[in-house]
């Protein structure tokens, strides 16, 4: 069929056609895949929340599949509407001993709230987690630290709902209950402790780098950002707008580079706690300008102020109540709250589910709530 010279040349010059075939096949599959994506659409489609002016890149993209996935804790939530009090009904404070909070509730509503707290915080241990294994006559005793802490946590929850409504309910009524942080666990996730000497720079070659810790999100940024801004209430500051400023940075009323690092460490923590990026709150062309921020910036600022109050007024003072096993492993300090304690990676805790609707008793700091039909 072919000339003899061609057959001889072909035998003397064999060609490996396998690799060219593989290359052609891979290119062909890639072309088909790209064509399918363009024609049928991206299978891992994203949705974008615009946070600032168009064309500035101020948006928060998320996979639609992730947005459509409900928080697992939502499936465990239950409804238990309050009982409308009847005139002359006896109150919990008159029935039981040593009721220092929620004593203005009727017996039915008091036990309704107590039952909910048990399911939110100690579903396995039940009432015994705070009251011990004795009979009802012993429930008024403060023999277990868990009961003393729980009482203070009720007051903290009421304070959040009543006095920090501008942060908690910035978009709609959401509220907080024990479930917001505990989610069926005795000890909430997302709490933090001081790390003491670990905050100092590492030794050796990395003498000017901070040690990597969970509180720095496993970066070499300072690990004391939560302590500085969510406990000590220090001013969040990055730099001075003037190129040359007289004096010593960090001492003469303007921030040093360490302040910038510490601020970035906090911002990194906040971003991870809410599952967002910088443009959720800031215009990246002018981080320092409060006139160019998004509405979320104000909500986040109030949240920082709220956490400062919660740590200093409610959580830190409980140090002497906790057993040694519940204190920090380095400094022996009480567990403290931060953004992750409630948000757990979501822009709104429990994806913005209204958790307070059936529990108005946890939204007032004094007396019983105003029940309605």
Q: Is 267 annotated as a binding residue?
A: yes
Q: Is 131 annotated as a binding residue?
A: yes
> Structural domain boundaries of the chain?
4-42, 44-74, 77-168+364-373, 190-343
Q: Where are the alpha helices (DSSP H) in 164-294?
A: 165-168, 178-182, 225-230, 257-274
Q: Is 153 annotated as a binding residue?
A: yes
Q: Is 239 annotated as a binding residue?
A: no
Hey, what are 74's tokens? 């939502």
**pLDDT band per the 50, 70, 90 thresholds, residue 2:** low
* Position with higher pLDDT, 199 vs 234: 234
Residues 356 and 367 sit within 8 Å (Cβ to Cβ): no
Q: Is 181 annotated as a binding residue?
A: yes
- Tell me the DSSP string of 145-185: HHHHHHHHHHHHHHHHHHH-HHHHTSSS-----HHHHHTT-
Residue 3: the pLDDT is: 75
* CA dist list (Å): 269 to 87, 139, 265, 342, 356: 50, 41, 6, 13, 27
Q: What are the residues facing 62 on neighbouring strands?
A: 47
Q: Is 339 annotated as a binding residue?
A: yes
pTM of the model: 0.83
Q: Of all helices (H) and strands (E), which one includes residue 50?
A: strand 46-50
Q: Is 117 annotated as a binding residue?
A: no
pLDDT of 34 > 60? The answer is: yes
Fold for 190-343, please state it. Photosynthetic Reaction Center, subunit C; domain 2 (1.10.468)
Q: Is 331 annotated as a binding residue?
A: no
Q: Is 343 annotated as a binding residue?
A: yes
pLDDT in tens, 52-108: 777 777 777 777 767 778 889 999 999 999 999 998 899 999 999 999 999 999 999
| 130-134, 146-150, 162-166, 244-248: least confident range | 244-248
pLDDT in tens, 44-54: 777 777 777 77
- Tell me the DSSP string of 348-365: SGGGG---STT-GGGG-S
pLDDT in tens, 295-347: 899 999 999 999 999 999 999 999 999 999 999 999 999 999 999 999 999 99
Q: Is 182 annotated as a binding residue?
A: yes
Q: Is 77 annotated as a binding residue?
A: no
């Amino acid at each position: 069929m072919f000339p003899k010279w061609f057959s001889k040349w072909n035998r003397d010059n064999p060609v490996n056609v396998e690799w060219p075939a593989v290359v052609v096949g891979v290119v062909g599959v890639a072309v088909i895949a790209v064509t399918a994506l363009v024609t049928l659409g991206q299978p891992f489609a994203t949705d974008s929340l615009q946070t600032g002016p168009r064309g500035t890149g101020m948006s928060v993209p998320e996979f639609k599949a992730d947005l459509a996935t409900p928080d697992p804790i939502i499936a465990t939530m239950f409804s238990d509407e309050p009982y409308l009090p009847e005139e002359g009904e006896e109150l919990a404070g008159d029935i039981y001993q040593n009721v220092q909070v929620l004593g203005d509730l009727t017996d039915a509503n008091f036990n309704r709230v107590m039952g909910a707290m048990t399911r939110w915080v100690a579903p396995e241990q039940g009432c015994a987690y705070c009251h011990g294994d004795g009979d009802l006559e012993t429930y008024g005793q403060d023999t277990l630290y868990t009961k003393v802490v729980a009482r203070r946590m009720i007051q903290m929850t009421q304070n959040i709902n009543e006095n920090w409504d501008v942060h908690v309910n910035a978009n709609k009524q959401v509220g907080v209950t024990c479930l917001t942080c505990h989610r069926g666990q005795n000890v909430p996730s997302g709490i933090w402790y001081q790390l003491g000497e670990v905050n100092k720079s590492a030794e050796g070659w990395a003498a000017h780098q901070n040690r990597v810790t969970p509180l720095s999100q496993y970066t070499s940024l300072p690990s004391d950002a939560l302590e500085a801004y969510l406990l000590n209430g220090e001013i969040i500051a990055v730099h001075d707008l003037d190129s040359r400023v007289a004096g010593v940075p960090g001492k003469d009323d303007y921030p040093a580079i360490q302040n910038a690092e510490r601020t970035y460490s906090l911002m990194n923590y906040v971003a991870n706690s809410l599952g967002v990026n910088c443009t959720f709150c800031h215009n990246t062309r002018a981080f320092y300008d409060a006139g160019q921020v998004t509405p979320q910036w104000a909500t986040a600022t109030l949240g920082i102020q709220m956490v400062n109050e919660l740590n200093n007024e409610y959580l830190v003072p409980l140090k002497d109540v906790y057993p040694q096993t519940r204190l920090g492993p380095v400094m022996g300090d009480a567990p403290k709250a931060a953004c992750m304690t409630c948000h757990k990676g979501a822009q709104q805790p429990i994806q913005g589910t209204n958790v307070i609707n059936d529990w108005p008793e946890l939204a007032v700091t004094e007396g019983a709530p105003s029940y309605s039909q």
